Structure 1
């Protein structure tokens, strides 16, 4: 019976692909890229608002995985490992470039309104203004607070996962989130 190599690749789990990569099989790297590249791009864009830079960083991440395949170890959560690796790569590159990181948030859910056409138009205008103010407020946050907001509210990670990625204790994550939310409330005029 003839098996299709492309079909076999599609059926691999991310952890099977990780094991293939560790054993020197480039198909494992290809599968991991197919699984995670879009999420990594969205995540990278939330840290650095420069599409070519983010794409290059993701490419470098996968090149590093291939280059250091013999030194790769077991990971408990592959997605967190890749997110953390990309985050570290972007931070290091930004530090050497001496540029201030900008952030673009995606995934803001629209508010539902009911009423007349005029009410809906007014509501949409207010919502757009609120989104702009929120984006500006987030842009003005320190980088660590931006990261916490991104992980918790846009990537929907737990505080524990956020703690692992940022390599800080859980209490610090809560503190950073609290400070960021308070700062955003003040910026939006909720106090």
Structure 2
């Protein structure tokens, strides 16, 4: 199914960029196409890049995003209350991609990795949050360091510091309890701070 969503105009009657998520969601549930369009274009990139963290298959990511929004529009009246749209969409996308991988025999080896439903997120040097003038060598060093973390630690770090989710949202998305998420963050930073370069950058407030 291919969903066509019209790019929203700048001269909205309602400026959704200034509306809380709950109000935008309620308008969407009522069938307001501008609200739906706003949600699609506002969060598409976040969904796309998170999807590519779960699987490097662009086709699966794009298909899952299209299916997600098509399902949202079709079932809008039956959907519940949503306070944080981004979290809701990321959680739905994660579940949808895993379902795709489990159903596609061509991805058998990937499916075996997903028996615990835990993606193996990888960080690239371009994603490392450091000063703009930081050298490629330093960025590569930090990204390699981040990639030494466990699967769950990497996903928690990505969702917290790249997608800006709250800890309780991360716990819900990853099917963990709240304290487990906190523990993963603490263990991740404990390991990272053993590296002198990371510690110097971290203490300088650049990460």
Cα distance 1:77–1:108, how it changes in 2: closer, same or farther (>3 A)? same
Output the CA distance in 2 between the equivalents of 1:40 and 1:9: 27
Q: 1:45 to 1:187 in 2, by over 3 A?
A: farther
CA distance in 1, matches of 2:173, 2:189: 20
Note the residue ranges of structure 1 that are not aligned, 5 or more in a row: 114-122
Aligned residue runs from structure 1 range 31-70, under 5 A: 31-70=38-77
Shift of 1:81: 1.1
Matches of 1:93 and 1:182 in 2, distance apart? 35
Task: Say whether 1:137 aligns with 2:145.
Answer: no
Supply the distance in 1 between the matched residues of 2:91 and 2:85 (Cα, whole angstroms). Answer: 10
Normalising by structure 1, we get a TM-score of: 0.70
Determine helix, strand or coil for the equivalent of 1:21.
Answer: helix
For 1:48 and 1:187, the matched residues in 2 are separated by 29
Distance 1:31 1:176, change over 3 A: same
User: TM-score of the superposition, structure 2-length normalised?
Assistant: 0.66
Counterpart contact for 2:54–2:120, Cα < 8 Å: yes
Is 2:184 the partner of 1:176? yes
CA distance in 1, matches of 2:158, 2:170: 10
What is the CA–CA distance in structure 1 between the aligned matches of 2:154 and 2:42, rounded to whole Å?
Answer: 25
Answering whether residue 156 of structure 2 is matched by residue 148 of structure 1, we say: yes
Aligned to 1:8: 12
Structure 2 alignment gaps of length 5 or more: 1-7, 114-118, 199-207
Q: Is the 8 A contact 1:46 1:150 kept in 2?
A: no
Measured at CA, do residues 63 and 161 of structure 1 come closer, stay the same or move farther in structure 2, by a change above 3 Å?
A: same
Displacement of 1:56 = 1.9
User: What RMSD in Å do the two structures reach over aligned CA positions?
Assistant: 3.4
The answer to whether the aligner puts 1:163 opposite 2:167 as a matched pair is no
Shift of 1:161: 2.7
- Can you list the C-alpha shifts for 1:10-57, whole angstroms capped at 9, x where unaligned? 623454442233223443322211221122222222332333322222
1:127 pairs with 2:138:
yes
Which entry has the higher C-alpha Rg, 1 or 2?
Answer: 1
Q: How many angstroms apart in 1 are the aligned matches of 2:53 and 2:166?
A: 17
Which of these residues, 24, 29, 37, is aligned with residue 22 of structure 1? 29
